[in-house]
Amino acid sequence: MKLPPRVKVVEVGPRDGLQNEKHPVPIEVKVAFIDALTAAGHTEIEASSFVSAKWIPQLGDAAEVFARIKRRSGTTHTALVPNEKGLESALAAGVRRIAVFTAASETFNKKNTNATIAESLEKFARVLARALAEGLTVRGYLSTCFGCPYEGAVDPSRVEEVTGALLGLGCDEVSISDTIGVADPLQVDALLGRLAARFGVERLAVHFHDTRGTALANVLAALQLGVTTIDASAGGLGGCPFAPGAAGNLATEDLLYMLHRMGVQTGVDIEGVVAASRLVAGALHHAPTSKYLQAGPPRA
Amino acid sequence: MKLPPRVKVVEVGPRDGLQNEKHPVPIEVKVAFIDALTAAGHTEIEASSFVSAKWIPQLGDAAEVFARIKRRSGTTHTALVPNEKGLESALAAGVRRIAVFTAASETFNKKNTNATIAESLEKFARVLARALAEGLTVRGYLSTCFGCPYEGAVDPSRVEEVTGALLGLGCDEVSISDTIGVADPLQVDALLGRLAARFGVERLAVHFHDTRGTALANVLAALQLGVTTIDASAGGLGGCPFAPGAAGNLATEDLLYMLHRMGVQTGVDIEGVVAASRLVAGALHHAPTSKYLQAGPPRA
């Protein structure tokens, strides 16, 4: 079994995780959480989203979060940016790397953002032109690549098409996302293999949800294809809006346990991430879903 | 990615699962649980253990369980048998396939069974001689193949040695078990690859615990080696005695979801297993850990 020697873990807990948590988390807790993740050695942390507080009240304090978090050489704190207005706020907050997102499923994109995929891409053309001119770098998220809660199966050629469009606009990588946690490893092998052949594996990241328990198996399939950028959320923060009560994002601790034990380096300290997850857990009113966090390290 | 077209799932919930559940489950619930698993299409169900009720009170009603469960053509109901006395009880109950178990770690075997591995094997020589003479078939379990809660790392050559001894005594397969849920896919690839080369992959089963979330990734590694017999526990019943509160056995539903979605057939109806898990859940005083059970099937 051939695996890459090193993987970059993109920590999405403070944004994708908290966005799906019901109880408002105080800014002091958010800042301490992000600082703990930074101290754990993460190289990329999606710290918040410059989206309207009307849509996502939990992340309405993005500017203040960016003003208060500690910086560390080697850690990039990124922000999700839905539109040009969000970009201006991100620029004002000193953000140097942003993320944009659209979906591979037309119905999902319409319901989630009230725009067609083509309309989203048009908007991103303007966002990216300005961002790149300002010297920022941009990551793309592509939702529902493995299945849609409304349409069911998603055509891989559509995933390929929208991935190409995001890269063409100037995203340096696209995170191929299993938004509702339905993917299986064979599907990952087929879809990521296809995208890697077309665009190069170094321009692809994977973003799995553990809704039905398959996230780490999907990671293994991606690693075997040479994928070296993997999204994860500390503690497994963030449920699944389409399966209430179910697990959401792949937990960073579970990912790190598997990678490190296989000798795949990340530079991130697993116990530092556990400490960060514990720190935010009290504000969430539920236990984190990370299995490693519950079990702890092997006793001997 | 090459996978076997069909896999045999060995359902261990009624024995390995319930054995680690604290609250006593009434016999009516056990029988209904096993009958539901039988109806779901399982071909092999470990229904109980003929161990002294002094050691495992939860399974002290094994004879009555076997007397009351419904039989179905195509389903074998097996029992764990720790010694000759247990074998006599199993024979009296009409059991036709038994399982014996020892460990790859000396300290674990000593603490778990108060015998050295050599003493366990001597005892099994007598158990198997009588069982085979009676026309029974015998499965072997080998615990702590990937790590021991007392010794830490376990020498693969020791796993190979004891596996060979169990097969030599007449076991038709050995279930290579990650008792404390520490294994990673690379380790599975190396250890199972070694054992398959020596003994043939058709004589190996795998038994993973999801304590740190790696069970399905480990299954994927085993499938890629051609392993076609996989143990699982309905609902994920059974915690980990070495990590209180943590997940234990790989949940049958999660395994079936991944296998079926990859086109790997099992003949087992996933919703039938969900129904069985729900049926027993009320008696356990905690929610099942199966993620599929919590999330349900994809909505579209």
Rounded Cα distance between B234 and A263, Å, is: 32
DSSP letter for B106, please. Answer: H
What pLDDT sits at residue A244?
Answer: 76
Cross-chain residue pair A212–B292, CB shorter than 8 Å: yes
Contacts of A216 in chain B (CB under 8 A): 213-214, 216-217
Q: Which residue of B has its CA nearest to A243?
A: B295
How far is C-alpha B54 from the chain's CA centre?
Answer: 22
Q: Structural domain tally of chain A?
A: 1
Using pLDDT thresholds of 50, 70 and 90, give the confidence band for residue B152.
Answer: very high
Looking at residues A2-6, what average pLDDT do you find? 97
Cross-chain residue pair B240–A299, CB shorter than 8 Å: no
Looking at the predicted structure, is the pLDDT value of residue B218 above 90? yes
Looking at the predicted structure, is the pLDDT value of residue A158 above 80? yes
pLDDT tens column, B96-147: 999 999 999 999 999 989 999 999 999 999 999 999 999 999 999 999 999 9
Q: For residue B173, what is the enclosing H or E element?
A: strand B173-177
Cross-chain residue pair B295–A189, CB shorter than 8 Å: no
pLDDT, greater one: A246 or A266: A266
Rounded Cα distance between B162 and B103, Å, is: 8
The two three-digit tokens of residue A223, written as one number: 């690693």
Looking at residues A207-220, what average pLDDT do you find? 97
Contacts of B242 in chain A (CB under 8 A): 299
User: Which of B2, B184, B225 to mutate to probe the A interface, most A CBs <10 Å?
Assistant: B184
Contacts of B295 in chain A (CB under 8 A): 181, 211-212, 240, 243, 246-247
Cross-chain residue pair B213–A292, CB shorter than 8 Å: yes
Report the mean per-residue pLDDT for chain A: 96
What pLDDT sits at residue A243?
Answer: 75
Determine what percent of chain A is predicted with pLDDT higher than 90: 90
What pLDDT sits at residue A176?
Answer: 98
The two three-digit tokens of residue B95, written as one number: 């059991």
Q: Which amino acid is at A34?
A: I
- Residue B51's domain is classified under what CATH number? 3.20.20.70
Within-domain flag for B1: no
What pLDDT sits at residue B242?
Answer: 77
Within-domain flag for A202: yes
Using pLDDT thresholds of 50, 70 and 90, give the confidence band for residue B264.
Answer: very high
Using pLDDT thresholds of 50, 70 and 90, give the confidence band for residue B262.
Answer: very high
The two three-digit tokens of residue B163, written as one number: 């596996």
Contacts of B300 in chain A (CB under 8 A): 147-152
What pLDDT sits at residue B243?
Answer: 75
User: Which of B107, B191, B277, B291 to mutate to probe the A interface, most A CBs <10 Å?
Assistant: B291
ipTM of the complex: 0.96
Q: For residue A11, what is the enclosing H or E element?
A: strand A8-11
**Three-class SS state of B299:** coil
Q: How far apart are the CA of B235 and the nearest CA of chain A, in angstroms?
A: 12
Within-domain flag for B17: yes
**Three-class SS state of A264:** coil
What is A148-208 written as a DSSP string? BTTTBS--HHHHHHHHHHHHHHT-SEEEEE-TTS---HHHHHHHHHHHHHHH-GGGEEEE-
Least CB–CB distance from B298: residue in A182, A254, A262: A182
Contacts of B243 in chain A (CB under 8 A): 294-296, 299
Cross-chain residue pair A296–B214, CB shorter than 8 Å: no
What pLDDT sits at residue B236?
Answer: 95
Cross-chain residue pair A216–B217, CB shorter than 8 Å: yes
Within-domain flag for B207: yes
Looking at residues A215-219, what average pLDDT do you find? 98
Looking at residues B236-246, what average pLDDT do you find? 80
Using pLDDT thresholds of 50, 70 and 90, give the confidence band for residue A110.
Answer: very high
Of A45-49, A54-58, B210-214, which gets the smallest average pLDDT?
A54-58
Which residues of B are catalytically annotated?
240
Q: How far apart are the CA of A169 and the nearest CA of chain B, in angstroms?
A: 31
Rounded Cα distance between A202 and A96, Å, is: 21
Within-domain flag for A27: yes
Q: Name the residue with tokens 């169990």.
A: B166
pLDDT tens column, B14-72: 999 999 888 899 999 999 999 999 999 999 999 999 998 898 999 999 999 999 999 99
Burial class, B54, CB count within 10 angstroms (exposed 0-12 / middle 13-18 / buried 19+): exposed
Q: For residue B138, what is the enclosing H or E element?
A: strand B137-143
Rounded Cα distance between A211 and A191, Å, is: 19
Within-domain flag for A236: yes
**Three-class SS state of B76:** strand
Instruction: For residue A240, indicate whether it is catalytic.
Output: yes
Looking at residues B221-226, what average pLDDT do you find? 98
Looking at the predicted structure, is the pLDDT value of residue A146 above 90? yes
Contact A92, A27 (CB under 8 A): no
Looking at the predicted structure, is the pLDDT value of residue A240 above 80? no
Cross-chain residue pair A150–B300, CB shorter than 8 Å: yes
DSSP letter for A76, please. Answer: E
What pLDDT sits at residue A286?
Answer: 85
What pLDDT sits at residue B130?
Answer: 98
Contacts of A219 in chain B (CB under 8 A): 217
What pLDDT sits at residue B295?
Answer: 93
What pLDDT sits at residue A291?
Answer: 95
Using pLDDT thresholds of 50, 70 and 90, give the confidence band for residue A204.
Answer: very high
Contacts of B298 in chain A (CB under 8 A): 147, 149, 152, 180, 182
Q: Which residues pair with B233 in a beta bridge?
A: B251
Contact B15, B47 (CB under 8 A): yes
Least CB–CB distance from B296: residue in A243, A263, A296: A243
Cross-chain residue pair A295–B240, CB shorter than 8 Å: yes
What pLDDT sits at residue A198?
Answer: 98
The two three-digit tokens of residue A270, written as one number: 């697993």
Looking at the predicted structure, is the pLDDT value of residue B244 above 80? no
Q: Name the residue with tokens 């592509």.
A: A142
Looking at the predicted structure, is the pLDDT value of residue A106 above 90? yes
Looking at the predicted structure, is the pLDDT value of residue A246 above 80? no
Contact A236, A251 (CB under 8 A): yes
Least CB–CB distance from A217: residue in B242, B258, B290: B258
Rounded Cα distance between B221 and B201, Å, is: 13
Residues A34/A37/A42/A43 CA torsion (nearest 10 deg): 20
Pure H helices in chain A? 18-19, 27-39, 62-68, 84-92, 106-113, 117-133, 156-169, 185-199, 215-224, 252-261, 270-284, 291-295
Residue B135: Cβ within 10 Å count:
7
Contacts of B213 in chain A (CB under 8 A): 210, 216, 251, 254, 257-258, 290-292
Within-domain flag for B68: yes
| Distance from the first to the final alpha carbon of chain B | 26
Cross-chain residue pair B299–A216, CB shorter than 8 Å: no
pLDDT tens column, B34-45: 999 999 999 999
**Cα dihedral sign, A283-A287-A293-A298:** positive
Contact A184, B258 (CB under 8 A): yes
What pLDDT sits at residue B141?
Answer: 97
Segments forming the whole domain that contains residue A100: 8-290
**Three-class SS state of B274:** helix
Using pLDDT thresholds of 50, 70 and 90, give the confidence band for residue A239.
Answer: confident
Rounded Cα distance between A259 and B186, Å, is: 10
Looking at residues B210-229, what average pLDDT do you find? 97
Q: Name the residue with tokens 């009624």.
A: B14
Looking at residues B196-204, what average pLDDT do you find? 98
Instruction: Read off the pTM.
Output: 0.97
Rounded Cα distance between A275 and A234, Å, is: 10
Within-domain flag for B171: yes
Rounded Cα distance between B93 and B77, Å, is: 11
Cross-chain residue pair B251–A291, CB shorter than 8 Å: no
Rounded Cα distance between B36 and B273, Å, is: 7
Cross-chain residue pair A186–B292, CB shorter than 8 Å: no
The two three-digit tokens of residue A136, written as one number: 């920022």
Q: How far apart are the CA of A213 and the nearest CA of chain B, in angstroms?
A: 6
Q: How far apart are the CA of A278 and the nearest CA of chain B, in angstroms?
A: 16
